[in-house]
Structure 1
Amino acid sequence: MKLKNARVRWFLSVNHDYIPEDVRVSGKTTFRSITVDGEEFEFSEGFTDLHTTSYKHILNNGGFGLAEARNSINIVSNIRSLNPVGLSGDYHPFCSKVIG
């Protein structure tokens, strides 16, 4: 996906078998990382109660309005409506674990 200032290769899975081997054997159950200009930032820790904390914030009149969330909602909607193309082009490297 190409955005104004970024090219995004996004991989989302709930299948534990698709996380990196070193993460899996260490006993961790999640893996989150982002690579910016060739430098990877791994940020898997600290998300245990993310949804609970977010929902509490929303119920206390916090959170984002529709105007702030519109771009994110549109991006997710576009991703959900795309047809898979398999392992062609500049795909996310984790895709080969699923299809390869």
Structure 2
Amino acid sequence: MATPPARKAVLDLYASTLRTAKSFNSYNFRTYFVRRTEDTFRGIQAERDPIKLSQAYNEAVKELSVLRRCAVMNQLYGGERLAVEEQSDVRTRGDA
């Protein structure tokens, strides 16, 4: 019988994955991976079967290593910021 991961291990993995997801320079990738991380760990939280919980945890560990590599590549080759991200340059009608 598989031993489920400890609660602290799951929370640490969640924090690491969320931190990595937030490190993307690209707004679209960043928001997608943050949302995907939250959805993945919501599913892990709801899982009660110890075998499925262990499998989901192991899969999340593998995905974290892939996500870290992707984040590094995105930081190296990040493009220009989107209009959505330009908060300081936004003018309202009263400013003109």
What TM-score do the two structures reach when normalised by structure 1? 0.29
- Flag the structure with higher helix content: 2
Task: State which structure, 1 or 2, has the greater radius of gyration over its C-alpha atoms.
Answer: 2
Q: Which structure's relative contact order is higher, taking Cα pairs within 8 Å and 6+ residues apart? A: 2
- Flag the structure with higher strand content: 1
